[in-house]
Amino acid sequence: MSRKDYVLFDKKTKAFVYGYQTNAIQRMLDFDYICNRESPSISAIINPSRAGIHKAFWGTKEIILPMYKTIALAAAAYPEADVMVNFASHRSAFETTMEALQEGSIRTVAVIAEGVPERQSRIMSATARKLGKTVIGPATVGGMAAGAFRIGNTAGTIENIIASKLYRPGCVGFVSKSGGMLNEAFNIISRNSDGIYEGVAIGGDRYPGSNLLDHILRYEANPAIKMIACLGELGGEDEYKIIQALKEGRITKPLVAWVTGTCSPVLPASVQFGHAGAKADTQKETAQAKNDAFREAGAYVPTSFDGYGDTVRLVYEMLLEKGLVKKFAEPQVPRIPADYGKSLASGDIRRPTTFICTVSDDRGEELLYAGKKLSSVLDQKMGIGGVIGLLWFKKELPDYASQFIELVLQIVADHGSAVSGAHNSIVASCAGKDLISSLCSGLLTIGPRFGGAIDDAAREFKRAKETGMTPEQFVGDMKKRGINIPGIGHKIKSVKNPDKRVQLLIAYARSNFPSTGLLNYALQVEKLTTAKKGNLILNVDGCIGILFLDLMSSCGAFSKAEIDEVVRLGYLNGLFALGRSIGLIGHILDQKRLGARLYRHPAEDIAYMMPSEEDIQCKR
Amino acid sequence: MAQRGIREYDAKRLLAKYLPEYLNDFSYRGDLALVGPETDLEGLANTNPWLRTERLVVKPDQLFGKRGKYGLVLLDANWDGVKKYLNENMGAEVVVGGIAGKLTHFLIEPFIPHDEELYVAISSDYDGDNIFISPQGGISVEENWDRVIRVHVDALEGIDNMDLRAQLERSLAGKAASVEKFVLALYQFYAELGFAYLEINPFAFHGSSIVPLDMVAKLDDAEEYWQRKRWDSLAFPEPFGRSLSREEQFIKDLDSKTGASLKLTILNPEGRVWTMVAGGGASVIYADTICDLGYAREMANYGEYSGDPNTEETYYYTKTILDLMTRHISPEGKVLLIGGAIANFTDVAKTFKGVVMALEEEKEKLQAAGVKIYVRRGGPNFEQGLKLMREEGLKLGVPIEVYGPETHMTRIVPLALEGAMQ
């Protein structure tokens, strides 16, 4: 694609954005969209830390922008992109810009970073000149060609772009040092003429990559630009290059110029203005001297910045009168949809949520557990039992209740390596699986036959007692239905060899709970079942489930409906899963620490009973 | 983010330490002692034993020149003489180039007797660097500017293929070879250590070795990231006659901790016109306009905030200004201009939130001082930001006039000065 030398950006310009600046990228695309560009101005993003894609909006649609790790890869993939908007920090702005300048296809680099060393800036500038390329910046927001292309954040919000009519070209070429004043100048110029054709801020540093005159000469050469406006600054002699060009007749279009910093003579010499280059070292570098020289060389110079707009208007009307510019019809501007996040934040829109969370909230300054600050949870020494109270039940439980939960967790924490959960975990760990996989393998055995009887026991005993069955009727009823009573029976323990864990739980409950009605009922049931068989004792699962119901109904924190819900939803098995995870993790890590090898079950422990050949024949 | 002067002490220290990397027979030892208001002189002499044994030179080291002309240089003294000089001059008020200030820092070096004084300076411009060499240095260099040899070093070409010998031989004869070697090395030192300006006037030959007698240098402080190790903990002193007030120092510290830019210079603490302007470019224009309207003497401060500072930063920045402007009560009242151009990406609502927080806190003081506030701003979320300000005006009990992008940027300056000031 061949562009005239004086054209840096047009409606077909394609660019790379160096640095993952998602806001600036979206702003560039939104600008493209309201300018009715055929396609987005960004070919690709260069992000040294990640290759891949970036999703962005093109109007209401989403589009994908490719992302490359290096300039070379991006340039090879998109030779038509001739601009790089360089958001690299001041530490890497130099090397990335130099790299981009070495790419044959990249003609223009805009350097946004502030604080680039002067030596580096001069080398970038000289290199660009030698190669016939352009560097805009450093320390600038960039620039834009109205209705065609914008660099990064230039011209700010869409509302501002529309207010200053930047979605279509006018006849004024503008250049300033200050990036912050660019937008203001667009505003002033659009109010006093048919608007901006192109505007560039070269940056406030002492040695900008391209200078005011470079851009003014481009504007002079561009037949679409009818008048030139420039905003200079005290310090440096850049403006004298323009004045020289005016005198030599190299600038023939009307030039509106103003140099800021006229206040400096009345300020102490040591004041450093906001821009690094803004300091007059000689009389010639003062704003007054420059403004006078501009005036003398034939530029249109207002008497103060206040009059800048009036002077622009004066020149524009003169051009209108001479017929050098003509009024034109305004194009239709497509609407940019409001940004969801922004509209939501400003309260303009609402949207139903998909999830509700009542457990914890990490959005604020401090993490909340059921609305309670983590720091108060710790200050009150609520412990694991208290945290479970908050996160599972959303209640601050009385201390004896929290301690009961902790007692349960301690009691169920482990039961040797031979039980299903631990065994599975150990086998998985020996097979070289990671901690989480091995833990899951163990947890998956928890169910109706292993550790999962707590809820069932609670449910059955609660039903029996609430429906007014005597223990005898309950045992009879279960027998009739052919169901083993959940929570009753143990493989090894019996009346003669009681389960110590059950004894501990009962002792705690008797001395701490206001009442233990269901436990008393269950012990009556146990009397009946152990009379039949010694090992049909109240087991640990049953005991936990039943005591939890006693706890909930006597501590005053739970309504009847809440208790029903706890039982219905299976809260209590959670206690077993949580407590036993402690033991499972211990077993898994134990195997790893011991360097255990793959487990293979001994063949002699398996009865191999193959079906006969006959058995497997299909018998029709 | 600019060129900053450094003390002669630091300039010579860098030269003694790093020039030998480029010039292996450079034998300048860098015997240098810096005296500040708190320096323990005997302790200094213990760590620098040459102070007690050699003939010495002592002079102020505070970024101003022509010290000889002002009679501030003591030559060829012994340690007792130097102590006497310091005793007389430390803390003394002097006027240099029309600027009054206190003498606080002095450089002591061995006194080098010499006949010939030579001159070398390196400066930078857009296209590269310029080296100036003269066989006639010292105070007479300017009178003999026609004898100065000027060499331009292109930004891309560097000095490697440069031949200075022929030029130097004409005026330096026998010393041309060693001066050439010295200058070439000095240039590399200049380019690689982040200098923006360097002048040694004069330097002299002591025997066969070169000794810098008087040195002035500026560094490009943007080089800090690359030069951290070599610059070590080098400080950039304030220009002579300017010491930072507590508030200026506070804003400077705030500025150094953020990616945004926060600047504050107090011009006249009793002035009635205070500004809080966003943007390096706009802030200058506001100051221009105040001066244009004839209120230069009432302009209390220059400053700017930009680069999307957060709410907390604008809060502290505003609070500092409000505190300063309400210290002196003026019967005619005061104005605060909260101005700025149409921002590109600075969030106006966010920055104004911090401003409003500070206004509320300083409410009583603002009322007591009769402050009137004028706001003009545009940019991202400006409607919200301006609304915030208008609402604040209603409940603050301090008049606030608020304008947006439809009003010319500096229009609030005449409104404020002609309205409220009369």
Distance CA B173, CA A263 (A): 50
Question: Going by DSSP bridges, is the β-strand pair A108-111/A134-136 parallel, antiparallel, or unpaired?
Answer: parallel
Q: Is residue B236 situated within a structural domain?
A: no
- Look at chain B and count its residues: 422
Q: Hey, are the CB atoms on A156 and B379 less than 8 Å from each other? A: yes
Closest by Cβ to A263, choosing from B287, B344, B378: B287
Closest CB to A306: pick one of B220, B223, B408: B408
H or E element that contains A73: helix A71-77
Domain shared by B157 and B100, yes or no: no
d(CA A140, CA A554): 71
A504 and A407 in contact (C-beta within 8 Å)? Answer: yes
Higher pLDDT, B146 or B40: B40
Per the structure, the count of domains in chain B is: 3
- CA separation for the pair A227, A415 (Å, rounded): 89
Please indicate whether residue A434 or residue A276 has the higher confidence score (pLDDT): A434
B88 CA: distance to closest CA in chain A (Å): 27
Residues of B in contact with A163 (CB under 8 A): 405
Average the pLDDT over B29-36 and give the result.
Answer: 95
Q: Does B127 touch chain A (CB under 8 A)?
A: yes
Range of the domain at B164: 3-29+114-231
Kindly determine whether residue B223 and residue A177, on different chains, have CB atoms separated by under 8 Å.
no
Distance from C-alpha of A239 to C-alpha of A300, rounded to nearest angstrom = 14
Largest CA distance in chain A: 121
Q: Both ends of chain A: CA-CA distance in Å?
A: 79
The answer to whether the CB atoms of A178 and B280 lie below 8 A apart is yes
Query: Which of A115, A160, A275 is opposite residue B378, by nearest beta carbon?
Result: A160
Q: In this structure, is residue B239 part of a structural domain?
A: no
User: Which CATH number characterizes residue B398's domain?
Assistant: 3.40.50.261
Rounded Cα distance between A86 and A42, Å, is 13
Residue type, A535: N
Cα-Cα-Cα-Cα dihedral of A596, A597, A598, A604, to 10°?
Answer: -90
CA nearest to A154 within chain B: B344
In a domain, residue B217? The reply is: yes
Q: How far is it, in rounded angstroms, from Cα B346 to Cα B261? A: 12
| B388 at interface of A, judged by CB pairs closer than 8 A | no
Q: Verify whether the Cβ–Cβ distance A125 to B155 is below 8 Å.
A: yes
| Residue B71 located in a structural domain | yes
Judging contacts by C-beta atoms under 8 Å, the chain B residues touching residue A182 are: 344
B80-119 residues touching A, CB cutoff 8 A: 99
- Nearest Cα of chain A lies from the Cα of B359 at a distance, in angstroms, of 23
Q: How many C-beta atoms surround the C-beta of residue B415 within 10 A?
A: 18
Question: Which of B83, B110, B137 is the last residue before a domain boundary?
Answer: B110
Q: What is the pLDDT of residues A517-570, one digit of tens each?
A: 999 999 999 999 999 999 999 999 899 999 999 999 999 889 999 999 999 998
- Residue ranges of the alpha helices (H) in A103-247? 118-131, 158-163, 180-192, 212-221, 238-247
The confidence score (pLDDT) of residue A525 equals: 95
Looking up residue B141, the CATH number of its domain turns out to be 3.30.470.20
User: Which residues are within 8 A (CB) of A167 and not within 5 positions of it... i.e. 6 or more apart?
Assistant: A31, A34, A35, A36, A146, A147, A161, A331, A333
Q: How far apart are CA B165 and CA B117, in angstroms?
A: 19
Residues 266-285 of B with CB under 8 A from A: 267, 278-285
Q: Map residue B374 onto helix, strand or coil.
A: strand
pTM for this entry = 0.82
Output the pLDDT for position B420.
53
Interchain CB distance below 8 Å, A273 and B384:
no
Task: Answer yes or no: do A267 and B267 touch at CB < 8 A.
Answer: yes
Query: Which residues from chain B sit within 8 angstroms of residue A270, using beta carbons?
Result: 238-239, 241-242
Q: Is the pLDDT of residue B422 over 80?
A: no
Taking CA–CA distances from A264, the nearest residue in chain B reads B288
Cα of B259 to nearest chain A Cα, Å:
9
Contact B277, B101 (CB under 8 A): no
B270 domain residue, yes or no: yes
Among the partner-chain residues B302, B379, B408, the one whose CB lies closest to the CB of A271 is B302
Q: If you average pLDDT over residues A421-445, what whole number do you get?
A: 97
The answer to whether residue A448 scores a pLDDT higher than 90 is no
**Per-residue pLDDT for A409 more than 90?**
yes
Indicate whether B25 and B140 sit together in one domain.
yes
Q: What does the pLDDT average to over A413-423?
A: 95
> Who among A139, A205, A274 is closest to B283 (CB)?
A274
What pLDDT does A276 receive? 65
Do A181 and B3 count as a contact with CB atoms less than 8 A apart?
no
Q: Which residue of A lies nearest to B237 if distances are taken between CA atoms?
A: A270
Residue A138: the pLDDT is 95
Closest residue in B to A342 (Cα–Cα): B381
CA A69/CA A54 separation, integer angstroms: 13
Residues B52 and B147 in one domain: no
B240 assigned to some structural domain: no
Tens-digit pLDDT profile for residues B248-261 = 999 999 998 887 88
Positions of A annotated as catalytic residues are 275
Same domain for B160 and B262:
no
Residue with tokens 């239709």: A332
Q: Which amino acid is at A198?
A: E
Looking at the fold, whether B144 and B37 belong to one and the same domain comes out as: no
- Determine the distance in angstroms separating the CA of B20 from the nearest CA of chain A, rounded to an integer: 22
In Å, how far are B41, B75, B104, B285 from B80, measured between CA atoms? 11, 13, 19, 54
Residue B345 is nearest to which of A156, A204, A309, comparing CB atoms? A156
Strands B106-110 and B56-60: antiparallel
- Ordered by where they begin, the domains of chain A are 15-264+273-322 (3.40.50.261), 360-402 (no CATH), 413-593 (no CATH)
CB atoms within 10 A of CB A601: 8
User: Any CB–CB contact under 8 A between B65 and chain A?
Assistant: no
Determine if residue B238 is left, alpha or beta; phi over 0 gives left, psi from -120 to 50 gives alpha, anything else beta. Answer: beta
The closest CB to that of B410, out of A176, A267, A305, belongs to: A305
Inform me whether the C-beta atom of residue B222 falls under 8 Å from chain A C-beta atoms. yes
B193 with B310, same domain?
Answer: no
Rounded (10°) angle between helices A453-466 and A471-481: 120
Chain B 175-214, residues with CB within 8 Å of chain A CB atoms: 191, 194, 196
Same domain, B87 and B128: no
DSSP per-residue string spanning B225-271: HHHHHHHTT---PPPTT----HHHHHHHHHHHTSSSEEEEEES-TT-
Cis peptide before A223 (omega within 30 of 0): no
Contact flag B344-A155 (C-beta cutoff 8 Å): yes
DSSP letter for each residue of B29-90:
----EEE-TT--HHHHHHH-THHHHS-EEEEE-SS---TTTTT--EEEE-HHHHHHHHHHHT
Q: Do B341 and A267 touch (CB under 8 A)?
A: no
Best mutation target, B96, B275, B284, to test chain A (most A CBs within 10 A): B284
Query: Per-residue pLDDT tens for A126-162?
Result: 999 999 999 999 999 999 999 999 999 999 989 899 9
Predicted confidence (pLDDT) at residue B195 exceeds the cutoff of 90: yes
Mutate which of B1, B231, B411 to test chain A, going by most A C-beta atoms within 10 A?
A: B1
Chain A positions touching B376 (Cβ under 8 A) are none
pLDDT tens profile B280-334: 889 999 999 999 899 999 999 999 998 889 999 999 999 999 999 999 988 889 9
Cα separation of B420 and B334, whole Å?
A: 8
Taking CB atoms and an 8 Å limit, are A114 and B265 in contact across chains? no
Residues B266 and B404 in one domain: yes
Whichever domain contains B54, its CATH number is 3.30.1490.20
Q: Is residue B237 part of a domain?
A: no
Q: Mark which of B110, B132, B156 sits at the end of a domain.
A: B110
Q: What is the pLDDT of residue A238?
A: 87
pLDDT number for residue A466? 93
Which pLDDT belongs to residue A283? 83
Nearest-CA distance from A275 to chain B in Å? 6
Angstroms from B418 CA to nearest CA on chain A: 15
One domain for residues B302 and B206: no
Looking at the domain assignment, is residue B409 inside a domain?
yes
CB-count exposure of residue B227 (10 Å: 0-12, 13-18, 19+): buried
Asked if B281 and A204 come within 8 Å (Cβ–Cβ), the reply is: yes
**Collapsed DSSP state (helix, strand, coil) of residue B211:** strand
Select from B4, B99, B126 the residue whose CB has the most chain A CBs within 10 Å, as the one to mutate to test that interface: B126
Pick the residue from chain B with its C-alpha nearest to A191.
Answer: B406
Per 3-state DSSP, chain A is made up of helix, strand and coil in percentages (nearest 5) of 45, 10, 40
Q: Which residues of A touch B241 (CB under 8 A)?
A: 270
**Helix axis angle, A500-512 relative to A540-555, nearest 10°?**
10
Q: pLDDT, tens digit, for every residue of B330-348?
A: 888 999 999 999 998 888 9
Structure tokens at A77: 């993939």
Among candidate residues B231, B258, B280, the one where a domain is terminated:
B231
Average pLDDT for chain B:
92
A244, pLDDT greater than 80 = yes
User: By three-state DSSP, how is residue B11 classified?
Assistant: helix
Q: Does B400 lie in the same domain as B277?
A: yes
Chain B positions in Cβ-Cβ contact with residue A196 (cut-off 8 Å): none
Minimum-distance CB partner of A184 among B1, B282, B287: B282
Please indicate whether, in this complex, the C-beta atoms of B378 and A126 are within 8 angstroms of each other.
no
Residues in chain A: 620
Q: Report the residue of chain A nearest B290, measured CA to CA.
A: A263
Same domain flag for B304 and B374: yes
CA distances from B112 to A542, A584, B56, B212 (A): 100, 83, 8, 10
The whole-angstrom separation of Cα A458 and Cα A329 is 81
Q: What is the pLDDT of residues B46-69, one digit of tens each?
A: 999 999 999 999 999 999 988 988
Mean pLDDT of the A417-429 span: 96
Distance from CA of A37 to the nearest CA of B (A): 22
Tell me what ipTM this predicted complex has.
0.91
Beta carbons of A184 and B409 less than 8 Å apart? yes
Pairing of strands B106-110, B118-125: unpaired
Residues B191 and B314 in one domain: no
